């Protein structure tokens, strides 16, 4: 199976700028992890690669923090956790969509020094040391907004669309949380893509496949969890266009939400805590700064143990003014994590079982995720699948974000990429719950989208109802401890009126049909609802249709879900097809209104998102104002030092020679006054005051600067003016000779005497003005304003140049030669062309 490097593959397959529209959109891809964020920008003309941060790093720590009133991101934010433990926020992925009382929030408090609070939605907010609270969505949005700004700096234009990776096990609550954060950040969600699927796209982009499916396991050992995705790759052909493409099918997923790199860090931190308490007899767990330092140290030691058998941990003044030092061995670390060994391999077995495949069917297990480099993780996987199936042929850190970017490009008409088509699957069962039609009876639960349902699936439920009712979509099993099972409630209204209308039309036993839709991003919803009743047609045509199965617009009646489970149904015609039908043609169908209601922990309301967006915008504006004020302060301060040096550099400097004593004295007095003001009031002055102070000094300095700049530029400007004077006079001399020659030859000339006279007049005026100015300039001192301005000199020379060039570029007038008559004295019959004197024109070299 041939393959190429990623750079070769992108050059070969990804054809940017294939489709140029009036505005070329950019697509941002983000792999949002618990520890790290990786991003990539897809834009025509911009090399396809991972987005770099301001420090030119290819990955950005998933942290946001405040250093007093300064907001920080990435490594800057993570590094100050030891100084400001309650103002540095990391590992926010754990909290996305999480109820405040869920187990995952308890776990978060064991790894984080941040304070948490309960929101009015009963989700999680994080509290700064000054009491300011931010919801998880707001803090996530800040990080996405930071990435957005980096992308816009690279793109040179606004970036509005984003595709974000999510774990396949994310529930709708968690997916809602990330899309809310995207919207608060000022972006639009192009799609969410499961991270294992994104890696599969990246893998397929650099390879070709046969029509026989290949089966691979994408194994992702990340910070927050471990997951395995069984994927098939095969070449296929589009039946309509006959074009070939690569088909990727996700067949099964396994995961462990509680086993990942963070858990390894937690075990290692516990080793360091035990060592500290054993040596110093102090409970470091009560010191937040100390705990933050040990958390950072645990991550560093883990990285060392990935390549070494032991590591020395040294932390100065870790807590209680104690310098901490200890040695940790890999065997000690692995012994503390021995219960995790089997859990690292279990997602592979679960994924294979869900895909209904066995290990011999698998070509390789592709390792990705930062913690796949940890020896104990690799040992667990090798023990489960064997060394020969382990594949290290994708970039463990970047394959997901690059695959997401390529997937996003395939969804946009702005790009032409290798044709890769993806089918993903749902991993949680989803059911519909509703009250039975008889008042006061039981609640019915109907399986609608079982685990393994393909993204993009649609299922239609049929109800025998005459009154408005509700359908609740929910998970029959708990997706995670403490998470609500209800997804949404769909109220179907307008039923009595619709049933009455259908009955009046002659409908027999009208029913209600509601369509449940699973989007490509893994969101479930009730897409539409209709009242339907078969209308009997007693005409001959109607009877024939009934006899031979006619009536293409009729919707087949399904079994009532009150009595049996719904049948699978493929919806061949979407809303656009329905809209194309003539109004009233389908008398058997009446659309119904659907009101979607979420519980308190559902997605943010439009009002709440708007308020969060305004809150973040106000924070951005405040920080921008602060940045501008600091720039104005620093600029003024630097300018004052420069001006002081100019005044003190001595009598031989251009500044001194071009200035008068009174000017220097005035400038010196104002400089001293401004320095004193900056020392006394500069820290509280606003941006406008700072710029005004600089402006006053610049206005005093400007005449002096203008003089020595004029002295520098005068020789070149004078030389240019004299060049055009000479060129114009040479042209006039030759042009007048040509006019005389043309008149003798009886042919039209390119120019008229009047035109040449006008040019000569302009030349003399320019020569006179220039001569007068130069003579006056000779008498002007260096510390006096110039008698002739070089800018005016250049403009006048340009005017003369344009006047001259209009005549030089004039084409020779067409001249039709009169044929010689028979009996002409010359007797010549030659038809060879002759050059008229007027054909010759002075070229640029002649000028």
Q: Residue 512 maps to which CATH number?
A: 2.60.34.10
| Domain boundary residue, one of 589, 604, 619 | 604
Q: In this predicted model, what pLDDT tens digit does every residue of 307-357 receive, in sequence order? A: 899 999 999 999 999 999 999 999 999 999 999 999 999 999 999 999 999
Candidate from 395-399, 562-566, 768-772 with smallest mean pLDDT: 562-566
pLDDT at 819: 58
Q: 475 with 506, same domain?
A: yes
Q: 346 with 480, same domain?
A: no
CB atoms within 10 A of CB 281: 7
Query: Which contacts of 315-319 are long-range, i.e. CB under 8 A and separated by 24 or more positions?
Result: 318/276, 318/284, 318/290, 318/293, 318/294, 319/276, 319/282, 319/284, 319/287, 319/289, 319/290, 319/293
Please report whether residue 358 resides in a domain.
yes
Instruction: Look up residue 566 and give its DSSP letter.
Output: P
Give the mean model confidence (pLDDT) for residues 791-817: 88
- The model's confidence at residue 818, banded by pLDDT at 50, 70 and 90, is low
Q: 626 with 655, same domain?
A: yes
Distance from the Cα of residue 139 to its chain's centroid: 17
Calculate helix-pair angle for 195-205, 6-13, nearest 10 degrees.
80
CA distance 171 to 194: 12
- Which pair of tokens denotes residue 97? 């969509």
Q: 680 with 788, same domain?
A: yes
- The model's confidence at residue 817, banded by pLDDT at 50, 70 and 90, is low
Share of the chain above pLDDT 90, in %: 78
18 pLDDT more than 60 = no
Compute CA distances 629 → 359, 690, 803, 810, whole Å.
63, 8, 50, 57
224 pLDDT more than 70 = yes
442 pLDDT more than 50 = yes
Q: 458 with 396, same domain?
A: no
Please report whether residue 477 resides in a domain.
yes
Name every residue whose Cβ is closer than 8 Å to that of residue 347 and which is 6 or more positions away in sequence: 219, 226, 227, 228, 254, 255, 256
Candidate from 84-88, 501-505, 543-547, 672-676 with smallest mean pLDDT: 543-547
773 pLDDT more than 60 = yes
Q: In this predicted model, what pLDDT tens digit does every residue of 460-515 receive, in sequence order? A: 999 999 999 999 999 999 999 999 999 999 999 999 999 999 999 999 899 999 99
Please report whether residue 330 resides in a domain.
no
- The model's confidence at residue 790, banded by pLDDT at 50, 70 and 90, is very high
Q: 448 with 515, same domain?
A: yes
pLDDT at 45: 83
210 pLDDT more than 50 = yes
- Find the domain containing 184 and state its range: 6-260+341-423
pLDDT at 47: 86
pLDDT at 456: 95
32 pLDDT more than 50 = yes
pLDDT at 538: 58
561 pLDDT more than 60 = no
Name every residue whose Cβ is closer than 8 Å to that of residue 106 and which is 6 or more positions away in sequence: none
pLDDT at 805: 93
- The model's confidence at residue 812, banded by pLDDT at 50, 70 and 90, is confident
Q: 711 with 593, same domain?
A: no
Q: 513 with 656, same domain?
A: no
Residue with more model confidence, 312 or 24: 312
Name every residue whose Cβ is closer than 8 Å to that of residue 709 and which is 6 or more positions away in sequence: none
Q: Hey, which residues does 311 pair with through a beta bridge?
A: 328
pLDDT at 417: 83
Does residue 233 contact residue 201 with C-beta atoms inside 8 Å? no
pLDDT at 742: 87
Q: 454 with 349, same domain?
A: no
734 pLDDT more than 60 = yes
pLDDT at 24: 52
Instruction: Look up residue 49 and give its DSSP letter.
Output: S
Does residue 691 contact residue 637 with C-beta atoms inside 8 Å? no
| Domain boundary residue, one of 382, 403, 423 | 423
CATH number reported for the structural domain that contains residue 631 in this entry: 1.20.1270.10
Strand order in the sheet with 390-391: 390-391, 364-368, 214-221, 226-237, 244-256, 420-423
- The model's confidence at residue 828, banded by pLDDT at 50, 70 and 90, is very low
Please report whether residue 109 resides in a domain.
yes
Please report whether residue 288 resides in a domain.
no
| Domain boundary residue, one of 391, 423, 455 | 423
Name every residue whose Cβ is closer than 8 Å to that of residue 753 and which is 6 or more positions away in sequence: 736, 739
Name every residue whose Cβ is closer than 8 Å to that of residue 773 and which is 6 or more positions away in sequence: 787, 788, 793
pLDDT at 611: 97
Please report whether residue 56 resides in a domain.
yes
Q: 671 with 596, same domain?
A: no
Give the mean model confidence (pLDDT) for residues 809-814: 83
Q: In this predicted model, what pLDDT tens digit does every residue of 572-606 receive, in sequence order? A: 344 334 433 333 457 899 999 999 999 888 899 99
**Closest-CA residue to 720 (of 803, 794, 808, 807):** 794
Q: 101 with 221, same domain?
A: yes
Please report whether residue 280 resides in a domain.
no
Does residue 632 contact residue 202 with C-beta atoms inside 8 Å? no
CA distance 206 to 201: 9
Q: In this predicted model, what pLDDT tens digit does every residue of 114-156 receive, in sequence order? A: 999 999 999 999 999 999 999 999 999 999 999 999 999 999 9
- Which pair of tokens denotes residue 346? 């279990």
Residue with more model confidence, 390 or 746: 390
Residue with tokens 């923090």: 65
CA distance 605 to 598: 10
CATH number reported for the structural domain that contains residue 196 in this entry: 3.30.420.40
Residue with more model confidence, 828 or 402: 402
pLDDT at 348: 97
Give the mean model confidence (pLDDT) for residues 8-27: 46
Burial label for 523, CB within 10 Å (0-12, 13-18, 19+), is: middle
Q: 780 with 728, same domain?
A: yes
Give the mean model confidence (pLDDT) for residues 766-770: 94
The total number of structural domains in the chain stands at 3
Please report whether residue 320 resides in a domain.
no
Residue with tokens 């967006």: 613
């Amino acid at each position: 199976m041939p393959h190429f490097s990623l750079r070769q593959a992108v050059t070969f397959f990804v054809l940017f700028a294939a489709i140029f529209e009036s505005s070329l959109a950019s697509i941002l891809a983000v792999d949002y992890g618990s520890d790290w964020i990786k991003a990539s920008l897809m834009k025509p003309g911009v090399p396809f690669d991972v987005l770099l941060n301001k420090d030119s790093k290819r990955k950005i720590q998933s942290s946001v923090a405040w250093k007093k009133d300064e907001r920080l991101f990435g490594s800057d934010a993570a590094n100050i956790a030891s100084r400001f433990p309650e103002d540095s926020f990391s590992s926010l992925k754990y909290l996305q969509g999480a109820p405040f009382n869920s187990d995952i929030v308890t776990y978060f408090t064991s790894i984080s020094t941040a304070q948490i609070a309960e929101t009015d939605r009963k989700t999680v907010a994080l509290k700064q040391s000054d009491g300011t609270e931010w919801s998880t969505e707001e803090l996530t949005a800040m990080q996405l907004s930071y990435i957005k700004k980096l992308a816009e700096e690279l793109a040179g234009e606004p970036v509005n669309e984003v595709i974000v990776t999510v774990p396949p096990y994310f529930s709708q609550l968690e997916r809602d949380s990330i899309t809310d954060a995207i919207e608060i950040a000022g972006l639009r969600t192009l799609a969410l893509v499961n991270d294992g699927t994104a890696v599969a796209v990246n893998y397929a982009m650099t390879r070709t496949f046969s029509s026989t499916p290949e089966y691979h396991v994408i194994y992702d050992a990340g910070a927050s969890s471990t997951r395995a995705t069984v994927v098939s790759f095969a070449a296929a052909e589009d039946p309509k266009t006959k074009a070939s493409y690569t088909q990727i099918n996700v067949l099964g997923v396994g995961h462990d939400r509680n086993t990942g790199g963070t858990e390894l860090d937690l075990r290692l931190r516990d080793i360091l805590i035990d060592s500290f308490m054993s040596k110093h007899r102090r409970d470091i767990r009560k010191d937040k700064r100390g705990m933050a330092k040990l958390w950072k140290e645990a991550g560093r030691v883990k990285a060392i143990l990935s390549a070494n058998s032991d590591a020395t941990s040294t932390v100065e003044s870790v807590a209680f003014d104690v310098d901490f030092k200890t040695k940790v061995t890999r065997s000690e670390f692995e012994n503390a994590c021995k219960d995790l060994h089997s859990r690292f391999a279990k997602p592979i077995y679960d994924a294979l079982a869900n895909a209904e495949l066995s290990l011999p069917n698998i070509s390789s297990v592709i390792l990705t995720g930062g913690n796949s480099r940890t020896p104990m993780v690799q040992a667990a996987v090798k023990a489960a699948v064997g060394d020969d199936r382990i594949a290290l042929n994708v970039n463990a850190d970047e394959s997901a974000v690059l695959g997401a970017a390529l997937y996003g490009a395939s969804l946009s008409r702005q790009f032409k990429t290798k044709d890769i088509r993806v089918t993903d699957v749902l991993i949680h069962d989803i059911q519909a719950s509703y009250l039975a039609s008889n008042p006061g009876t039981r609640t019915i639960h109907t399986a609608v989208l079982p685990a393994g349902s393909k993204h993009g699936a649609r299922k239609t439920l049929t109800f025998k109802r005459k009154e408005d009712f509700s359908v609740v979509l929910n998970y029959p099993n708990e997706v995670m401890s403490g998470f609500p099972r209800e997804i949404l409630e769909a109220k179907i209204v307008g039923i009595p009126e619709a049933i009455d209308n259908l009955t009046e039309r002659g409908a027999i036993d009208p029913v209600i049909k509601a369509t449940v839709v699973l989007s490509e991003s893994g969101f479930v919803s009730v897409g539409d609802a209709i009242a339907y009743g078969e209308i009997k047609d007693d005409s001959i045509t109607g009877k024939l249709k009934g006899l031979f199965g006619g009536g293409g617009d009729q919707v087949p009646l399904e079994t009532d879900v009150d009595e049996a489970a719904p049948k699978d149904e493929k919806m061949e015609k979407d809303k656009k097809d329905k809209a194309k039908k003539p109004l009233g043609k389908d008398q058997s169908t009446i659309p119904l209104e659907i009101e979607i209601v979420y519980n308190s922990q559902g997605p943010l309301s439009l009002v709440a998102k708007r308020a969060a967006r305004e809150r973040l915008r106000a924070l951005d504006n405040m920080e921008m104002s602060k940045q501008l004020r600091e720039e104005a302060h620093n600029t003024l301060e630097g300018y004052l030092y420069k001006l002081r040096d100019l005044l003190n550099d001595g009598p031989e400097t251009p500044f001194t020679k071009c200035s008068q004593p009174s000017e220097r004295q005035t400038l010196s007095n104002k400089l001293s006054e401004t320095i004193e003001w900056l020392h006394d009031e500069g820290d509280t002055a606003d941006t406008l005051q700072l710029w005004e102070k600089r402006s006053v000094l610049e206005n005093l300095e400007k005449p002096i600067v203008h003089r020595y700049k004029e002295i520098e530029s005068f020789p070149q400007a004078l030389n240019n003016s004299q060049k055009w004077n000479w060129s114009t006079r040479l042209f006039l001399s030759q042009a007048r000779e040509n006019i005389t020659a043309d008149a003798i030859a009886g042919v039209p000339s390119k120019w008229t005497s009047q035109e040449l006279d006008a040019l000569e007049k302009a030349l003399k005026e320019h020569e006179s003005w220039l001569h007068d100015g130069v003579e006056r300039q000779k008498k002007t001192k260096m510390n006096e304003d110039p008698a002739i301005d070089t800018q005016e000199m250049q403009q006048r020379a340009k005017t003369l140049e344009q006047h001259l060039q209009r005549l030089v570029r004039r084409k020779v007038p067409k001249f039709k030669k009169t044929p010689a008559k028979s009996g002409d004295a010359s007797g010549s019959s030659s038809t060879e062309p002759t050059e008229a004197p007027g054909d010759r024109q002075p070229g640029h070299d002649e000028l």
